[in-house]
Structure 1
Amino acid sequence: MRKLHLILSLLFPFPLLAQNSNNVIPQNNTVKDTARQTDLIDIGKALFRISPQKMRAERDKKIYFSILPVSSSAPGGSGNVLITSTTAGVYLGPKRTTNLSSVTFAPYWNFKSRFGLPLRSNIWLKDNTWNIQGDTRFLYYPQYTWGLGSNRKYDERTLVNYKYIRFYQSALKRIEPYLFAGMGYNLDYHFNINNDNPEVSLKDYTGYNYGTGKNSFSSGISFNLLYDTRNNSINPLPGVYANLVYRINPGFLGSNDSWSSIYTDVRKYINLNPVDRNQQNTLAIWSYFWTTLNSKTPYLDLPSTGWDPYNRSARGMEQNRYRGRTLFYLETEYRRDITRNGLLGFVVFTNVNSVSGSGSLFTSWHPAAGTGLRVKFNKGSNTNIGIDYAASKGYSTVVFNLGEAF
């Protein structure tokens, strides 16, 4: 109960910042004048002398596509991979009353033993009456692991091979302006699990009894509470985001073992230059608290760095570096335009986490930091290409993304 009280105290002060009794969603009026912006599409038109057609009256439903093929290092330690990240943004209702929906498909392949087909969606129906969230993946995923907690050094890792199917779907209905509640279904199936070292099983290496055999199957329902004042999740404008997910995995739905968890995610975006809304000058703060509520959670379903819903946390650390029964994470990032037309920008960020497993939470902290370049790809959806360099003790990496990390 102490954990639950802590989570609720972290989560619920934010909805008190803005309340409105009207049925129409109040608006975040921080909207950029895209006529004054320049993106890579504009540059491409100029280079190839493509004459734009006469401006048509903008319809409510408009789709914005962004695509980024790139070679990058794979999280978890499998060398370089070829990633083709495609993001589509669309308004399913009037822009004045409807958030931008987004769908991201980012398949990757390292030409050897690793590939992934992740499809994620965040859909806002007309006037934000419903929010539909989806996360479907099929992964062939050899990945390093360091067991529970923080005791092992970096070179004491072991490689775990497995295949992974994820199917998450949830539907949330608006109950108050900016406030949504709903339910979802969550499935995690890890199979063909084996340690790269045949002399040491994953169970022996981790000292953990659940989900360390050949297969691990978790099937459950979730109860979701969401508070979101952002207009655009691809590149959030100033606002607040808070999400609470309580997941139950009972045996009668097929789970190998009954277990439950709580994931709470809070983000705040502060505009440091309110006079000129066309210039990015933002301080972004992100924190999440993820914990299991009993001892039978499968090993690969335990809270772990880099395993937030969009795999964007812990930049500068290898994915899966720290795993435990409870994980606390905090990140801050400063975002600023370099050019007046918004084509180029930069970010500076730092993050820290603490896990329980080989000790108590908050007794061992793991920091990382980095900086990055931003290039405006599509000003209509405010989508940036992000190129980040991040580092922590004994490890560094370059990360490519479409859209902001959070």
Structure 2
Amino acid sequence: MKYKYLLILLLALLSCGPLIAQEKGGWLKRIVQKTVTDTTSPGKPSFRIYPTLAYSPETSFEFGFSSLLLFQAKNDTLNRLSEVNAFTFITLEAQYGIWLDNAIYGDNDNWFFLGKTRFQRFPLLYYGIGPETSGDEPALIDANYLLLRQRVLRKVVPNLFLGPEIDYQQLYNTRFNQPKDHQGYEQPLGSSGGRNLGLGAALVYDNRHNVLNVRKGLFGEISFLKYHPSLGSDHNFQGVNLDVRSAHPTSKRNVLAWQVYGNFFSGDVPFNQMALMGGEMIMRGFYYGRYRDKNMLAAQAEHRWLPFSFSKRFGGTVFAAAAVVAPRVNEFSWKHIRPSGGVGLRYLLFPKKDIFLRLDVGFTKEGPGFYLFTGEAF
């Protein structure tokens, strides 16, 4: 989905916030002051909610709200910063959704709850399966989509966590709409809908203190999930997921970060649970699922100015990435590697907790993609 325009109501408020704050009274003044001023003391929970507005050809105008809850166990600043991030939206095409992400640490890091929830009625663009799919005239799969994924991890030794993982995904009320003036796509496995429940385990190393803005630290995860009819799944498949991220301060304000990410599936994998290239985290600029297959390997690097030396609130980034998909690991090919890169603007939303709002523009040969989220991409 290529955004032609991205109108950010929040940044408009932020830019005029100091002027509005000088006016006497009024509900708008109170909203702006609440949004741009972090009055919570260190260790105390912080909560923000702010509006977003966007436009794309597939959705028309999209109206949404983002909210972010930050806290530390027992209000102790020595504990890691936990976050619960929610995003809701509705469009003029009667599409809607709720996203919820959580990274919650217990006291002394004894427990770590890491997961995400998605519910949405939203079109999924389908370009086919494989590393050489055409970008012309994708099919449109209109469906309701539910995802529940959670890891419940226990500290084994400092910074190392181990525990079970559960993943439930359901696609229902589906309609596979072939593009006009196109020979049409063969409908992939799972295009008529279905549900799949995966159980497995995750091993995580994490020495980060601030998940949303890592200035120094290493995160590494390897997990295994098995989906089987005996668990209530419609399909029989399994997958290994790899995620390694590292951040290195180059100065007081500057950070160099990198990530290696991989999905490796085998069996009867439905199209919506394959390795998907693109999205707001890695390969920004590509529509999420522009390329898909059973296996993907991706890497990215990013330099962050948090904030700029001439500003207390505004910062920026530059980033570059590359990824490849293939039906089998031994079929990864140099000629199928897809590059992307871009720039981003940052606004310091929680000064006392060092949390930035990010607006990224990712560029590919197929056009740009725009992303507005709280916290860094990785």
TM exceeds 0.5?
A: yes
Find the counterpart in structure 2 of residue 72 from structure 1: 54
Residues 1:325 and 2:294 are matched in the alignment: yes
Partner Cα distance (1:262, 1:123) in 2 = 23
Partner of 1:362: 333
Q: Amino acid of the residue matched to residue 288 of structure 1?
A: Y
Partner of 2:375: 403
Identify if the C-alpha distance between structure 1 residues 165 and 48 changes in structure 2 by more than 3 Å, giving closer, same or farther.
same
Tell me the equivalent position of 1:211.
Answer: 190
Tell me, in whole angstroms, the C-alpha distance in 2 between the residues paired with 1:82 and 1:305.
Answer: 26
| CA distance in structure 1 between the partners assigned to 2:285 and 2:237 by the alignment | 31
Are 1:77 and 1:144, in contact at CA under 8 Å, matched by a contact in 2? Answer: no
Asked if 1:282 corresponds to 2:264, the answer is no
Residue 357 of structure 2, aligned match among 382, 385, 391: 385
Aligned-residue offset at 1:186: 1.2
1:142 is the counterpart of 2:142: no
State the partner residue of 2:4: none
Contact 2:325 2:332 in 1 (8 A): yes
Q: 1:345 aligns with which of 302, 310, 315?
A: 315
Change (3 A) 1:382 1:389: same
Alignment of 1:190-209 (within 5 A): 190-197=171-178, 205-206=185-186, 208=188
CA distance in 1, matches of 2:182, 2:190: 12
- Contact 1:41–1:378 (CA under 8 A) maintained in structure 2: no
Q: Does 1:126 align with 2:107?
A: yes
In 2, Cα distance between the equivalents of 1:70 and 1:198?
Answer: 30
CA separation of 1:44/1:135 partners in 2, compared to 1, >3 Å: closer, same or farther? farther
Structure 1 SS opposite 2:286: coil
Letter in structure 1 aligned against 2:261: Y
User: Which has a greater percent of strand?
Assistant: 2
* Match among 298, 307, 321 for residue 270 of structure 2: 298
Residues in 1 aligned to 2:200 and 2:61: alpha-carbon distance in whole angstroms: 35
CA distance in 2, matches of 1:382, 1:41: 22
Distance in 2 (CA, whole Å) between partners of 1:329 and 1:59 is: 37
TM-score with structure 2 length normalisation? 0.84
Distance 1:297 1:285 in 2: 29
Q: Deviations over 1:225-263 (max 9, x none)?
A: 111111011111211111112111121111012211111
Deviation at 1:150, TM superposition (A): 2.6
Letter in 2 for 1:354: V
Do structure 1's residue 167 and structure 2's residue 167 form an aligned pair? no
Larger RCO (CA within 8 A; separation ≥ 6): 1
* Distance change in 2, residues 1:206/1:233 (3 Å): farther
The letter of the residue matching 1:355 is V
| Alignment match, 2:36 | none
Matches of 1:177 and 1:44 in 2, distance apart? 48
Q: 1:81 to 1:362 in 2, by over 3 A?
A: farther
Identity of aligned residues (%): 22
Q: Provide the alpha-carbon RMSD of the alignment.
A: 3.1
Corresponding residue for residue 85 of structure 2? 104
Where does structure 1 lack aligned partners over 5 or more consecutive residues?
1-38
Shift of 1:42: 9.8
Give me the whole-angstrom Cα distance separating, in 1, the residues matched to 2:45 and 2:17. 17
**Any idea what SS the aligned residue of 2:185 has?**
helix
Q: Deviations over 1:188-229 (max 9, x none)?
A: 011122211299999x72464x313x2221012120111111
Q: Is contact 1:283-1:333 (8 Å) kept?
A: yes
In structure 1, the residue matched to 2:27 is none
Deviation track 1:264-305 (CA, whole Å, cap 9, x = no partner) reads 1000101101xxx3xx2001101101110x230111111102
User: Does the CA contact (< 8 Å) of 1:385 and 1:400 recur in 2?
Assistant: yes
Give distance in 1, aligned partners of 2:69 and 2:247: 23
> What is the CA-CA distance between 1:381 and the residue it aligns to?
2.3
Alignment-derived partner of residue 6 in structure 2: none
> 2:54 is matched by which residue type in structure 1?
S
Which structure 2 segments of 5+ residues have no match? 1-13, 25-29, 34-38
Change in CA separation of 1:57 and 1:261 when aligned onto 2, cut-off 3 Å? closer
Aligned position for 2:224 = 246
TM-score, length basis structure 1: 0.79
Q: Secondary structure at the match of 1:93?
A: helix
Query: Offset of 1:377 from its aligned partner?
Result: 1.2
The answer as to 2:68 corresponding to 1:90 is no
Q: Indicate conservation of the 8 Å contact 1:243/1:264, yes or no.
A: yes
Structure 1 pair 47–378 and aligned structure 2 pair: CA distance change class (3 A): farther
Contact 2:133/2:291 (8 A) holds in 1: no
Residue 360 of structure 1 and its aligned partner are, at CA, apart by 2.5
Structure 2 CA distance for partners of 1:269 and 1:246, relative to 1, 3 Å? same
Aligned residue-pair number: 351
Q: Residues 47, 381 of structure 1: CA spacing in aligned structure 2 closer, same or farther, 3 A cutoff?
A: farther
Distance in 2, Cα, partners of 1:66 & 1:57: 11
SS at match of 1:131: strand
AA in 1 matched with 2:207: T
State the alpha-carbon separation in 1 of the partners of residues 61 and 16 from structure 2: 28
